[in-house]
Structure 1
Amino acid sequence: MNILDDIINNLKANKTILYPTDTVWGLGCDATNESAVKKIYQLKNREESKSLIILVDSIEMLQNHVENIPKKALEILKKAEKPTTIIYNNPKGLAANTIASDNTIAIRIPKDEFCIQLIKEFGKPIISTSANVSGDPTPKSFSEISEAILKNVDYVVNLHQEKVAEKSSTILKIEGDDVIVIRE
């Protein structure tokens, strides 16, 4: 059994994972399963009213989970050099506790090979939130992840633990023709 099989088996069992994303180390789970998502909020000691980022493997998967992808978003996704998360209106097919109170969801298509392969083989979107307790600094490397997270996550992916991330993704919201930068 390879490492992807282990991770996917954990995701299918509604467990939480700690994994290297295209940006910082992330906490993840099946983004369509409410009880798995609840575990992420508990791990982070975070209010469920603060929504989470979701990773999908392609525009096709994005279309399955967003009512309408603005043309502007597609342009941005094609040109983006660095990891870019976009906030979309009217999400569908995701756990209710992933959706913000204004009926939006933040989704990114990573360019990282491992993440793409994982999502593709799992066949569903995966939560991607920084591996820290709410209020604590975002860890830039595996070695900075707190004991509280390491002890309580269900599965730690043993890959790229030497990786150091410069920063989290850019977050954009599109309203009509306007692109609003939420996080640079």
Structure 2
Amino acid sequence: MIKKAVNTLKKDELIAYPTETVYGVGANALKKETIEKVYKIKNRRKDKPISLAISSWEMLQEISEIDKQQLRTLKQLMPGPITAIIKKTDKVPDLLTAGSDKVGVRYPDNKTALKIIEKFGSPITSTSANYSGKTPPKNHKQIKLPVKYIVKAGTTELGTSSTIIDIENDIKIIRNGPITKSQIKKAQWK
């Protein structure tokens, strides 16, 4: 299952994979051609950025300009159901971020997702595996997108989209989700 998913990604094809929140569409997040495919398959407007998923803190530091305080805060919240908006490095294509100098980063708390990313050796896209505007799938049976390979791992643990935070200066919640404001505040001051 993991090997097949990784081989599919290496062929620049798209997969659907589980996280602890919902199923995501996975593609090489650092390659314009594969990002293009994600926008197309989801019918997503190109002015809407796509997040990426990592499997290690080293990977995070390769794709983002993060300071020690921000990293310390994120280590309290991740892996987990949270997307952090962070200043990106030049490794991250502008297409992924809709021209922004920031990128949304997920460090999923899901063994299958982490193994896929780790074995692929590079960040993958982390956008829900649904057509834009439709309900994100909680189970592999709900996936309607014509991806090349679906990782069949049953129903996701939480079944709801991640909390989104911007950590530029102070932490600002962009979208509410499973991680609460008080959990974020507690992490911020550790």
Q: TM-score, normalised by structure 2?
A: 0.84
What corresponds to 1:33 in structure 2? 31
Q: Percent identity?
A: 35
Which structure 2 residue ranges, 5 or more long, are not aligned? 177-190
Which structure 1 residue ranges, 5 or more long, are not aligned? none
2:74 pairs, out of 69, 72, 77, with 77
Distance 2:59 2:116 in 1: 13
User: Once superposed, what is the RMSD of the aligned Cα atoms?
Assistant: 1.7
Structure 2: which amino acid aligns with 1:181? I
Structure 2: which amino acid aligns with 1:165? L
Distance 2:93 2:74 in 1: 24
Q: For the Cα contact (< 8 Å) 1:140–1:166, is it kept in 2?
A: yes
What corresponds to 1:51 in structure 2? 49
1:114 pairs, out of 87, 112, 115, with 112
CA-to-partner distance for each residue in 1:15-68, whole Å, 9 max, x for gaps?
A: 0001112310111101111111111111110111211110111111111111x2
Q: For the Cα contact (< 8 Å) 2:51–2:97, is it kept in 1?
A: no
Distance 1:163 1:86 in 2: 21
What corresponds to 1:153 in structure 2? 147
CA-to-partner distance for each residue in 1:90-125, whole Å, 9 max, x for gaps?
A: 333123311232311101112221121111111100
> 5 Å matches for 1:108-147?
108-146=106-144
Displacement of 1:11 in angstroms is 0.5
2:103 pairs, out of 91, 102, 105, with 105
Q: TM-score, normalised by structure 1?
A: 0.87
